[in-house]
Structure 1
Amino acid sequence: MTSVSMIRPAEASAVASIKGCTRQYPGVLALDNATFTLASGEVRALLGKNGAGKSTLIRLLAGAEIPDSGTVLIDGAPLTQTGSGRAQEAFEKGVRVVYQELSLVPGMTLAENLFLGRWPRKGGVIQYGAMEAQANEAMASLGLDLPADRLVAGLSPAERQLLEIARAMLGKPKIVILDEPTSSLAAAEADKVMAAVTRVAAQGVAVVYVSHRMNEIRQIAHSATVMRDGKIIDTFDVKGANTREIVRLMLGSEASQAAVLENQSQAQTVLEVRDLALAPKLSSVSFSLKKGEVLGIAGLLGSGRTELLQAIMGVRDFDAGDILAYGKSVKSVGYKEMIRRGFGYTPESRKEEGIVPLLGVDENTLSTDFSSVSRSGVLSVSLMADATRKIIERLHIKAARTDTPIGTLSGGNQQKVVIGRWVYAGSRILLLDEPTRGVDIEAKAQIYAIIRQLAAEGRSVIFVSSEIEELPLVCDRAIVLRDGMLQEEFKSPNIDQDRLMAACITGH
Structure 2
Amino acid sequence: MSASTEQPEIIAQAIGVTRSYPGVIALDNVDFEVGRGEVRALLGQNGAGKSTLIRLLSGVDVPSSGTILIAGTDLGSEGVHGAADRGVATCYQELSLVADLTVAENFFLGKWPRGRFGIDTKAMATRAAEALASLGATIDPNAITGTLTLAQQQIVEIARALQDDPKLLILDEPTSALASAEVALVLETVRRVAAKGVAVIYVSHRMDEIRQIAASATVMRNGKVVKTLSLGESDTATIIRLMIGTDPENQRPQAVDHEPGPVVLEARELAIPPKVTDVSFQLRAGEILGLAGLLGSGRTELLRAIAGFERLGGGDILVDGETIAPVTPRRMRRAGIAMTPEDRKREGALMNLGIDENIVMSDYRSVSRSGVLSVSLMRDASEALARRLSIKAHDLAQPISTMSGGNQQKAVIARWLHADADILLLDEPTRGVDVEAKAQIYAIMRAVADEGKAVVFVSSELEELPLCCDRVLVLRDGSIQREFVAPHITLSDLLEASMASHSTQEAS
TM-score (norm 1): 0.66
Question: What CA distance in whole angstroms lies between the structure 1 residues aligned with 2:278 and 2:24?
Answer: 41
Among 298, 309, 333, the residue aligned to 1:339: 333
Question: What CA distance in whole angstroms lies between the structure 1 residues aligned with 2:373 and 2:104?
Answer: 58
8 Å Cα contact 1:263/1:293 also seen in 2: no
8 Å Cα contact 1:305/1:481 also seen in 2: no
**Which residue is equivalent to 1:166?**
159
Among 173, 191, 206, the residue aligned to 1:198: 191
Among 280, 285, 297, the residue aligned to 1:291: 285
Moved more, 221-230 or 349-358: 349-358
Question: What CA distance in whole angstroms lies between the structure 1 residues aligned with 2:56 and 2:277?
Answer: 39
Following TM superposition, by how much is the alpha carbon of 1:161 offset from its aligned partner in structure 2, in angstroms? 3.5
CA offsets per residue over residues 208-241 of structure 1, 9 Å max, x none? 2222223333333333323233232333334465
8 Å Cα contact 2:341/2:347 also seen in 1: no
Among 49, 66, 70, the residue aligned to 2:66: 70
Question: What CA distance in whole angstroms lies between the structure 2 residues aligned with 1:240 and 1:352?
Answer: 41
8 Å Cα contact 1:430/1:462 also seen in 2: yes
CA offsets per residue over residues 444-477 of structure 1, 9 Å max, x none? 99xx99995x7676444568899xxxx9xxx986
Cα distance 1:476–1:153, how it changes in 2: closer, same or farther (>3 A)?
closer
Q: Is 1:46 matched with 2:39?
A: no
**Which residue is equivalent to 2:92?**
99
**Which residue is equivalent to 2:27?**
31
Cα distance 1:465–1:256, how it changes in 2: closer, same or farther (>3 A)?
farther
**Which residue is equivalent to 2:309?**
315
Moved more, 52-61 or 303-312: 303-312
8 Å Cα contact 2:272/2:313 also seen in 1: yes
8 Å Cα contact 1:478/1:490 also seen in 2: yes
1:429 is matched by which residue type in structure 2? I
Following TM superposition, by how much is the alpha carbon of 1:96 offset from its aligned partner in structure 2, in angstroms? 0.5
Higher gyration radius (CA): 1
Moved more, 149-158 or 23-32: 149-158
Moved more, 60-69 or 120-129: 120-129
Among 177, 180, 187, the residue aligned to 2:173: 180
SS in 2 for 1:44: strand
**Which residue is equivalent to 1:189?**
182
Following TM superposition, by how much is the alpha carbon of 1:263 offset from its aligned partner in structure 2, in angstroms? 7.5
**Which residue is equivalent to 1:211?**
204
Among 12, 16, 27, the residue aligned to 2:12: 16
Question: What CA distance in whole angstroms lies between the structure 2 residues aligned with 1:326 and 1:397?
Answer: 29
Alignment of 1:113-124 (within 5 A): 113-121=106-114
8 Å Cα contact 2:14/2:66 also seen in 1: yes
Question: What CA distance in whole angstroms lies between the structure 2 residues aligned with 1:301 and 1:230?
Answer: 34
2:415 is matched by which residue type in structure 1? V
8 Å Cα contact 1:291/1:459 also seen in 2: yes
Following TM superposition, by how much is the alpha carbon of 1:148 offset from its aligned partner in structure 2, in angstroms? 5.7
Following TM superposition, by how much is the alpha carbon of 1:95 offset from its aligned partner in structure 2, in angstroms? 0.4
CA offsets per residue over residues 353-380 of structure 1, 9 Å max, x none? 556959999994556xx8xx9xxxxxxx
Aligned residues: 459
SS in 1 for 2:241: helix
Question: What CA distance in whole angstroms lies between the structure 2 residues aligned with 1:284 and 1:387?
Answer: 47
CA offsets per residue over residues 384-437 of structure 1, 9 Å max, x none? 359999898777669xxxxxxxx95776998698346523xxx433446759x9
Alignment of 1:46-445 (within 5 A): 46-81=42-77, 85-105=78-98, 108-121=101-114, 125-128=118-121, 131=124, 134-135=127-128, 138-144=131-137, 152=145, 159-239=152-232, 241-254=234-247, 256=250, 267-271=261-265, 290-292=284-286, 309-316=303-310, 325-326=319-320, 333-345=327-339, 349=344, 353=348, 364=361, 366=363, 383-384=370-371, 418-419=415-416, 422-423=419-420, 427-431=421-425
Cα distance 1:259–1:59, how it changes in 2: closer, same or farther (>3 A)?
same
Cα distance 1:289–1:219, how it changes in 2: closer, same or farther (>3 A)?
same
Following TM superposition, by how much is the alpha carbon of 1:204 offset from its aligned partner in structure 2, in angstroms? 1.8
Following TM superposition, by how much is the alpha carbon of 1:62 offset from its aligned partner in structure 2, in angstroms? 0.3
CA offsets per residue over residues 295-345 of structure 1, 9 Å max, x none? 799999999987775454233468999866446777865423423433234
Question: What CA distance in whole angstroms lies between the structure 1 residues aligned with 2:240 and 2:359?
Answer: 44
Question: What CA distance in whole angstroms lies between the structure 2 residues aligned with 1:69 and 1:290?
Answer: 56
Question: What CA distance in whole angstroms lies between the structure 2 residues aligned with 1:481 and 1:34?
Answer: 45
Question: What CA distance in whole angstroms lies between the structure 1 residues aligned with 2:337 and 2:214?
Answer: 43
8 Å Cα contact 1:297/1:481 also seen in 2: yes
Moved more, 39-48 or 126-135: 126-135
Following TM superposition, by how much is the alpha carbon of 1:78 offset from its aligned partner in structure 2, in angstroms? 1.4
How large is the Cα RMSD of the aligned pairs? 5.7
Question: What CA distance in whole angstroms lies between the structure 2 residues aligned with 1:31 and 1:225?
Answer: 14
Question: What CA distance in whole angstroms lies between the structure 1 residues aligned with 2:134 and 2:359?
Answer: 56
CA offsets per residue over residues 268-319 of structure 1, 9 Å max, x none? 3434679999999999999875435677999999999877754542334689
1:90 is matched by which residue type in structure 2? A
8 Å Cα contact 1:62/1:87 also seen in 2: yes
Question: What CA distance in whole angstroms lies between the structure 2 residues aligned with 1:282 and 1:51?
Answer: 38
Question: What CA distance in whole angstroms lies between the structure 2 residues aligned with 1:487 and 1:226?
Answer: 37
TM-score (norm 2): 0.66
In structure 2, runs of 5+ residues without a counterpart are 386-395, 401-406, 504-508
In structure 1, runs of 5+ residues without a counterpart are 374-380, 399-406, 492-498
SS in 1 for 2:8: coil
Question: What CA distance in whole angstroms lies between the structure 1 residues aligned with 2:347 and 2:370?
Answer: 28
SS in 2 for 1:256: helix
8 Å Cα contact 2:270/2:278 also seen in 1: yes
Question: What CA distance in whole angstroms lies between the structure 2 residues aligned with 1:71 and 1:220?
Answer: 28
Question: What CA distance in whole angstroms lies between the structure 2 residues aligned with 1:186 and 1:459?
Answer: 31
1:197 is matched by which residue type in structure 2? V
